[in-house]
Amino acid sequence: MGYRYFIKLAYNGTNYHGWQIQENAATVQEVITEAVKLMWIKDFKMIGCGRTDTGVHASEFYAHFDLKDEKSKEELVELTYRLNRYLPEDIVIYRIFPVPPDLHSRYDAISRTYEYHIHTKKDPFLNDLSWFMPQPLDIELMNRGGEILTEYEDFTSFSKANIRRKTNLCKVMKAFWTVDDHRLIFTIMADRFLHDMVRAIVGTLINIGQYKITIEDLRSIIESKNRCSAGESVPAKGLFLTHIEYPGFQH
């Protein structure tokens, strides 16, 4: 059956069209794959834990690959070092480590956590990684909206339309806002996410925070299962994939 390994990595997604390899566009998966092929394995292939959209970042991301031969800890450390020397500064490999041969980076994830970052005062050091939103927001009301999300499972209203998928059901475990001076951070954890789901949810919660819609309107939006009912998607640059949970091992 061979040996399976996980790569723990992070990236600034500003210069990439998401994670997954696609024609005529720079992606994180492509850059790493080509680097490994150049210095290690010619027919290297890996599978990521998800598909981040264009411009979205990941402070924690996992991918897996299989080998016929077992690699020592020293060999994996050496590969990590060499990759980090070769890869551009917006991608980092934290470590490469062995896992059970049947553990899948995408399908075996128990939960995923995203954060969306907003700054409310002009800040030149945050522009690439946060959305500038100077208008006042009712955070308490937005947190009530976050609690409502945990009561539902069908998130069709927050998913990009006209995309085929097996199901629009997701289990949201938590969704809340925190405030740190002039920075707002929305954290949401679920077993899975739909395309554009987090950015559409944030846009809708901001409408609540600006009193454009009510808490009861949020329930109606979710129950309508209509993307046109929800708020606009906020810019990708403020979105981070921050944590993936797997069964049976610490990472």
Q: Which segments within the chain are labelled E, that is strand?
A: 3-11, 47-48, 57-67, 91-99, 111-119, 131-132, 172-180, 183-190, 239-245
DSSP label of 125: T
Task: Compute the distance between CA of residue 118 and CA of residue 186 in angstroms, rounded to an integer.
Answer: 8
Count how many Cα atoms sit within 13 Å of the Cα of residue 87 in the half-sphere of its side chain: 27
Q: Which position among 43, 53, 138, 154 bears the catalytic label?
A: 53
What dihedral angle (degrees, nearest 10) is formed by the CA atoms of 209, 214, 220, 226?
-40
Task: Say how far apart CA 112 and CA 242 lie, in whole Å.
Answer: 8
Helix (H, G, I), strand (E, B) or coil at 6: strand
Is position 154 annotated as part of the catalytic site? Answer: no
3-state SS record for 194-211: CCCHHHHHHHHHHHHHCC
- In the numeric block, the tokens 């009912």 are attached to 229
Q: How far apart are the first and last CA of the chain?
A: 23
CA–CA separation, 203 vs 133, rounded Å?
11
Which residues does the annotation mark as catalytic?
A: 53
